[in-house]
Amino acid sequence: MQRKVTVIGAGNVGATVAQRLAEKQLADVVMIDIVEGLPQGKALDLQEAAPIEKHDARLTGTNDYKASEGSDVIIVTAGIPRKPGMGRGDLLTTNAKIVKGIMEQTAPLSPDAVLILVTNPLDAMCHVALQTSKFPRNRVVGMAGILDAARFRSFIATELNVSVENTHAFVLGGHGRTMVPLPRYSTVAGIPITELMPQDRIEALVERTRWGGVEIVDLLKNNSAYYAPASAAVEMADSILKDRKKILPCTAYLQGEYNIHDLFIGVPVKLGKDGVEEIIEVTLTEEERTALKKSADAVRSLVESLD
């Protein structure tokens, strides 16, 4: 296989990302982790599953960044995950140091790569990656909106007893409690859910989406979610590697779009071989604009506390 994706962090999210990339035959995969033996062991285990899963992707596990040289896409999942009672913001200082160190080592080896950030707090980690890598803004993008939208979609499908494939959901804003799910742009077979569900049920599903990460942390206790986050990151990699130009909710660096300046926040973007090829602006109601501003203010204060 000719395309190369490096996954940094061979923990729950990273290993699941590597598995999905290989099984979908999207690229050869290099897994890097700070723990000796961990990426090597997981890559070998995944490689040994290949004859049964019927894919020809090559998986390499290493602690040496040299192996990442010339990557098309780099997916950053390294860091500490949340424990019960922790917000994503509690991970700020530790994960910022980790992401900075990773960027210093990987960016010079793959100067043309698209960076996909998964490590939380996501919006702030995107800032660290942009600043440290010095990549153009279109090649630094965060995974959050696809996950939040997938959670919303799965709740909508269960509520209405319809196929998840018929659902679309639209989520703006930061990855956290201030996220802005937009019910009027969320549909089943093209029909807005506002026509299919009473307002109180929509509000209940929106609230469950907002707290979707916490719901999983409270159940798992020692880990945060990883199956759905990995699926979301791989959907982004797929659109970039195959230049599919899918419109997906992702965390992008805004420079005036939505009247937000110099800040990473979740918006619909077109993802292709150059990363974020376009930021799609939709007209918001007064209420939605206010909610997005509140979300942007929360992200900005987290980023400023980092500085």
- Kindly list the catalytic residues: 175
Nearest Cα residue to 154 out of 146, 54, 32: 146
User: Shortest approach of ligand APR to residue 163 CB, angstroms?
Assistant: 27
Nearer to ligand APR, 95 or 132 (CB): 95
Quote the least distance from Cβ 147 to ligand APR, whole Å: 9
Pair of tokens at residue 127: 């800032």
For residue 173, the 8-state DSSP code is B
Q: Count other Cβ atoms within 10 Å, centred on residue 20.
A: 19
Three-state SS across 242-281? Answer: CCCCEEEEEEEEEECHHHCEEEEEEEEEEEECCEEEEECC
Least CB distance to ligand APR at residue 254 (A): 22
Minimum Å distance from CB 15 to ligand APR? Answer: 8
Shortest distance, CB of residue 30 to ligand APR, whole angstroms? 12
Considering beta carbons, is residue 143 or 269 the nearer one to ligand APR?
143
Nearer to ligand APR among residue 33 and residue 238 (C-beta): 33
Q: Which residues bind ligand APR (CB under 6 A)?
A: 8-14, 33-35, 38, 77-79, 81-82, 91, 95, 98, 101-102, 118-120, 223-224, 226, 229
How many CB atoms neighbour CB 285 within 10 A? 10
Q: Which residues contact 145 (CB under 8 A, 6 or more apart)?
A: 171, 172, 175, 248, 249, 250, 251, 266, 267, 268
Helical residues (DSSP H) of the chain, grouped into ranges: 12-23, 38-53, 92-106, 122-133, 145-160, 199-210, 212-220, 227-241, 286-306
Please report the DSSP string for 85-100 in residue order: T--GGGGHHHHHHHHH
Residue closer to ligand APR, measured from CB, 180 or 217:
217
- Please check whether residue 39 is in contact with residue 11, taking contact to mean a CB–CB distance below 8 angstroms: no
CA distance 223 to 294: 28
- Cβ proximity to ligand APR: between 188 and 233 the closer is 233
